[in-house]
Structure 1
């Protein structure tokens, strides 16, 4: 059984992408970060490998999807509150990310989305677990 998740994303400019995510509050594991890759720490068990496009191509047998034109993945992360969702997405936009969908309030869940510098789509969501009955 897997114990860690590594999401691999191609990026056009590794330094710019690392700076974008550092400014959003993420750190990078220096053991797995070099001129070809940045290992972004999301949690103890979740990591996002930002890989230069040339390095990313060494792992695949097809062309890289242009995330600005097509959606290849939607990465969803949880938040502690609806306010945290709002603040995170607002900060992402101020750092050069783009909002691609309006915020959605479902009562029990608040979510909002942005695309990073390379067009990869991220969704931040708060789920109010108190609205679910425990059995």
Structure 2
């Protein structure tokens, strides 16, 4: 089996979250989805498991983070600046929040952060590795 990552996120509304992630470009894998969760596929190696709070409780009894807090941010590399903008527009149009942090444009890298309906943060980014400036001598 190749290396993969499965990110599990507790969500409050399975249907709304599934619609949100579909709008961002994820595809639902029905083989790993049920009434307690949805498996959303980003790539052959990246899967996001959206699970209801009840199903989350079968994994852990640790408390949910306080609303408005941030324990982590996940990043998705996209093909263009336009794709970054489109992902933020889709987030805002489907129950999420666009630009939860200021837009970061370094020329060689462009990032816009968004949040899903439950506040889970994602950075949509585009980068041109060939344009990264050389490190400055110290």
User: Could you state the TM-score of these two structures normalised by the residue count of structure 1?
Assistant: 0.91
CA RMSD in angstroms comes to 1.6
1:40 maps to what in 2? 40
Q: Aligned to 2:34, what secondary structure does the other structure show?
A: coil
Deviation at 1:132, TM superposition (A): 4.1
1:28 maps to what in 2? 28
Q: What number of residue pairs does the alignment pair up?
A: 132
Runs of 4+ aligned structure 1 residues displaced above 3 Å come to: none
Contact 1:27 1:41 in 2 (8 A): yes
Structure 1: gaps spanning 5 or more residues: none
Structure 2: gaps spanning 5 or more residues: 134-138
1:110 maps to what in 2? 110
User: Could you state the TM-score of these two structures normalised by the residue count of structure 2?
Assistant: 0.89
2:63 maps to what in 1? 63
Contact 1:57 1:64 in 2 (8 A): no
Q: Aligned to 1:29, what secondary structure does the other structure show?
A: strand
Deviation at 1:108, TM superposition (A): 1.2
